[in-house]
Amino acid sequence: MGYVAIKGGGIAIKGSLEALEALRAAEGEQGVPLSLSAIENQLRLLTSRIVSEGGLYHPRLAALAIKQMQGDTLEAAFALRACRSTKPRLLATPVQETSRMRVIRRISSAFKDIPGGQMLGPTYDYALRLMRIDLSDEAPEVFRTIAAKFMGETPAGNLPETFPKVVDALRNEGLLPQAPARAIEPFDITREPLIFPIPRSAILASMARAETGSLLALAYSNMRGYGDVHPTIAELRVGYLPVFLPHPITGEEIEAGEVLITECEVVAMYENSDNKSKPVFTLGYGACFGHNETKAISMAILDRALQKGMKEGPANPSEDPEFVVLHIDGVDSMGFANHYKMPHYVTFQSDMDRLRTTQAKAESKQGNEK
């Protein structure tokens, strides 16, 4: 009898990868390999999700990850993160002004008449979720004219390049506290370990690359009653943010490119303050790479809930920084859930040893009692 327990791992892995690859190309002769450009554009919200959860703004690599992982969001974001591990950090980005954003959409549910006006932009919010059967068999000629037609029919108008921030207006009216001082060095979660209690910037950075569903679930628990943020969206904006970096020689800030981001600010009711200062509304902030409105809103609500928890002590899971921050990372949580598929022969052998010993003791006890 040969060595039984575990054998042939290398061959098994090779076969498994070949089977995966075969399924990717299962369409056979009718198949057309997905182009990265098609994924990046036609599945732009999926790409958005991956750049955000992957914590690396590289839509083309994100598209590649989506293709390679056959559409699994957790795996694709994971591949992007692993790619990031091979890159050194060359410099720290200075604070970027989101008021400079070239917006494609900005709304407020607090005021009808916000400075600069509401711009509904591209959203499914008011689209009827009826199946568009015509999309199932789209003529390429028609498809290729849609974007050009839209651009041609939209009047150039005199839209401003940028829009003022709603929260700035609220601050000017004294309804919101002034923005915290810039002097605070932001916490880099990719280079420093989290040791609790952690600063708000570490919490925000963790949430910015968190798994969307995990953030939503925790934020939703707060909305439903395990918490009481009761948010109003002061502003939600989506658009292209110019990124300014210091010039390597002169140190002067220059525009290095732009990133698509979603930003959300929620305003909540004021807190009880024991000091004599004027009561003001409180703010929750959310921002992430890509066009991910659900994520940005969830993040803003959780930010508000966590600030409350840090001040008054957590009364609900969504107000506890440790509970939230350590359970929202997709790479961590999916990895650990999947590791249970690995062999646990040795530990199970130990478990059996303990169970048999306690069973034997229980039996002999019962025997003695009879």
Partner 1 sequence: MNPYYELPQDEAGYSFGFLDEYAKREVRRNILKAICIPGYQTPYASREMPMGRGFGTGGLQLTLSLIGRGDTLKVIDQGSDDSVNAVNLRHFIELTCPGVDTTERTQDATLIQSRHRIPEMRMTSAQTLVLQVPYPDPLVVVEPSEARRKIMHGEGDYSRLLTKLYEDIVHFDEITISHRYPTRINGHYVLDPSPIPRFDVPKLHQSPALILFGAGREKKIYAVPPYTNAEPLVFEDVPFRTEDFSDAQGRRRSCHRCGATDSFLDEFTGNDGERIYQCSDSDYCHQRLSTQHSAANEVSR
| 241 touching partner 1, by CB under 8 A | no
Confirm or reject binding of residue 344 to partner 1 (CB under 8 A): yes
Closer residue to partner 1, CB minimum distance, 42 or 190? 190
Q: What residues are paired with 106 via a beta bridge?
A: 119, 237
x-or-dash string of contact with partner 1, 268-307, rule CB under 8 A: ----------------------------------------
List b or e across 101-126, with b for residues whose CB sees 16 or more CB atoms inside 10 angstroms.
Answer: bebebbbbebeeebebebbeeeeeee
Distance CA 170, CA 280 (A): 10
Tell me the per-residue interface mask from 177 to 216 with partner 1, x by CB under 8 A, - otherwise.
------------xxxxxxxxx-------------------
Residue 12 C-beta: closest distance to partner 1, Å: 6
In the complex, the smallest distance separating the C-beta of residue 363 from partner 1, rounded to whole angstroms, is: 12
Nearer to partner 1, 92 or 352 (CB): 352
Near partner 1 by CB under 8 A: residue from 22, 279, 350, 363:
350
- Residue 229: CB minimum distance to partner 1, A: 22
Minimal distance, residue 129 CB to partner 1, in Å: 29
Q: For partner 1, give the closer residue by CB, 48 or 108.
A: 48
C-alpha 133/C-alpha 84 separation (Å) is 40
d(CA 237, CA 244): 19
Nearer to partner 1, 64 or 215 (CB): 64
**Distance, CA of 266 to CA of 222 (rounded, Å):** 14
**How many residues contact partner 1, by CB under 8 A?**
65
* 72 in contact with partner 1 (CB under 8 A): no
Q: Does 4 bind partner 1 (CB under 8 A)?
A: yes
- The angle that helices 293-312 and 200-208 make with each other, rounded to 10 degrees, is 160
- Considering only residues 7 to 46 of the shown chain, the ones binding partner 1 according to CB under 8 A are 7-10, 12-13, 36-37, 40
Nearest to 324 by CA among 235, 187, 197: 197
CA separation, residue 299 to residues 80, 91, 327 (Å): 21, 26, 14
Residue ranges in 90-129 that form contacts with partner 1 under rule CB under 8 A: none
Contact present, 297 and 263 (Cβ < 8 Å): no
User: Which is nearest to 75 in space by CA: 41, 49, 36?
Assistant: 49
Residue 345 interacts with partner 1 (CB under 8 A): yes or no: yes
- Residue carrying structure tokens 């083309």: 60
- Print the binding letters for residues 314-343 with partner 1: x by CB under 8 A, - otherwise: --------x---x----xx-xxxxxxx-xx
**Which helix or strand (DSSP H or E) is residue 267 part of?**
strand 253-268
Residue 1 touching partner 1 (CB under 8 A)? yes
Q: Answer positive or negative: Cα dihedral of 125, 128, 129, 135.
A: negative
If the CB atoms of residues 278 and 354 are measured against partner 1, the closer one turns out to be 354
Of 19, 117, 352, 363, the residue at the interface with partner 1 (CB under 8 A) is 352
Taking the complex as a whole, how short is the minimal distance between the CB of residue 147 and partner 1, in angstroms? 12
Query: What's the first-to-final CA gap in the chain, in angstroms?
Result: 45
Give the span between the Cα atoms of 222 and 299, in whole angstroms.
12
Q: Report how far apart, in Å, the C-alpha atoms of 121 and of each of 33, 118, 124, 150, 236 are.
A: 32, 9, 10, 13, 11
- Structure tokens given for 334: 């999916």
Q: Does 158 bind partner 1 (CB under 8 A)?
A: no
Does 138 sit near partner 1 (CB under 8 A)?
no
Does residue 346 touch partner 1 according to CB under 8 A?
yes
Q: Which of 253, 255, 312, 351 binds partner 1 (CB under 8 A)?
A: 351
Phi, psi of 134 (to 5 degrees): -60, -25
State the residues that interact with partner 1 by CB under 8 A.
1, 3-10, 12-13, 36-37, 40, 59-61, 64, 78-79, 81-82, 84-89, 189-197, 322, 326, 331-332, 334-340, 342-347, 349-354, 357-358, 361-362, 365
